[in-house]
Amino acid sequence: MDSNSVRPVNQSFFKALDLCCQKITEKMGDKAITEWRIEDYNRLSSQLGKQTGVYLSVNTLKRIFGRLKTPQRYFPQKATRDALSQFIGYRDWQEFELVFATLKIENVTSISTDQENDIEVPKDTKVPRLVVAIFAALVLVILAIVFFWKNTAESMQVKLVCENPFGSVPHTAVFKLNSKVSFDENEEYQVDFMDEALVSSIKGKNKITKFFRNPGVVYATLLYHNKPIDTASAYMQTKGWVANSGNDTSRAFPIAGLKSLDPKNIYVSPKQLDSAGLDTHKPFVVGFSNIKPSHINGDNFSFSCKIFAEQSRPGTQCVETTIIILGEKHRHLLKLNRRSCVAFSEYKFSEVRVLGSEQFLGALAFNPENGGEVMIKVENKQASVVLNGKKVLFTKYQRSIGKVMGIKILFNGIGKAVSPELHDLSTHETF
């Protein structure tokens, strides 16, 4: 048995645990703990795991809540107590106990230094117990705030760094933590790589190594207590426009050895796809990428391109076209479908994202079977989309994506991009 699971009898420990359990129950809904069933404990285990990374079994939760009787009162280990307190909004169990102490301070008897030193003080000069209690409570609150602020301030100074951000395809990138001030090297952070890799934990001087197989930009977000505090990027560069493809996210098929394609007619044939080892009898995606550093402002540019796409393909009902403008920090994305499939359409300009499954995007209906013109214009963080000469979208965003670092054009099936052009509206620099 874990030495931390059962502690010497100390009612203050168990009172704090009971209060923590009460707050967890309140967070989970109005149902009293006496009415909880297996599905309620399973739901708590799932939510606790998603929020804190700590998954507890039903029996462990029942012991914690006192619903599963044990010879001695069960007191969970520190990692479990930290997770329980984090679930209800505290940094860790120590912070929760500090706040808990202030809630019960009115029950604390004042310390009589007079009796300890045998000094008789007139009764009318003694400080009232209520004043002592209030003063003690204020001291504890201040200590808790200072403790929390100190640790949070240190953590906010921690930055995520990619040691080798620029690479070719494929690329193994190394990420680490860096800070100009000292910080707790036992404090754990998470790094979210979006869809490019699994979320990973990191602390102190440890490093994370990730393998990226596709051309593009990977945005890594550093999380502290599930809150983003910094970002770092890795760039898988190309020499001009190249093509790659795949049937799923686990494999990538470089086409024509990732050799440069004609920018005026970006296209790969079924024969080239077959030579790359791609099974074209299954649904597949072809991606055209041009990834390189630039000085073009990602919040002030114009992009245009003529696109051709297949009408249909066996096993694929909705043939979509996706255009992605990759910046240093974030990206713009436009996913287009024919009218019958606009539920799968989407647009994203920096932090602003709208899904066709949540909002009808009929204006973005686009059929490029015989060719279609797409223009995206972003001017001072105001974005507009023009399809075949008709303005179909206008939106605004707040977070800059930085300099333009690449363009990707994706097709479900075989597609063609003709003369894509992106230039800065102020400097007229062309990508």
pLDDT tens digits along 246-286: 765 455 678 877 889 999 999 999 898 888 888 888 788 89
Residue 405: C-alpha distances to residues 185, 236, 271 (Å): 33, 10, 31
Strand ranges of the sheet holding 159-162, from the earlier edge strand across to the other edge: 159-162, 171-178, 207-212
CATH architecture of 242-424: Sandwich (2.60)
Confidence (pLDDT) at 141: 66
What interhelical angle do 78-87 and 38-52 show, nearest 10? Answer: 90
Residue 283 preceded by cis peptide, ω within 30: no
Q: DSSP secondary structure string, 348-391?
A: EETTEEEETTTS--GGG----TT-EEEEEEEETTEEEEEETTEE
156 HSE (CA, 13 A, CB side)? 6
Could you give the angle at the alpha carbon of 89 between the alpha carbons of 85 and 92, nearest 5°?
40
| Side chain identity at residue 7, one-letter code | R
Dist CA 73 CA 61 (whole Å): 13
Instruction: Please tell me the pTM assigned to this model.
Output: 0.64
pLDDT of 35 reads 86
Cα(72)–Cα(378) distance, integer angstroms: 66
Q: Residue 412 corresponds to which amino acid?
A: N
Least confident of 64-78, 177-191, 350-364, 382-396: 64-78
Split at pLDDT 50, 70, 90, the class of 122 is very low
The structure tokens listed for 115 are 């009796």
Taking each continuous run of H as one helix and of E as one strand, the counts in the chain are 8, 21
The confidence score (pLDDT) of residue 115 equals 36
Where is pLDDT greater, at 167 or 126?
A: 167
**Could you give the residue ranges of the DSSP H alpha helices within 215-289?**
270-275
Give the pLDDT score at 290: 97
CATH of domain 159-236: 2.60.40
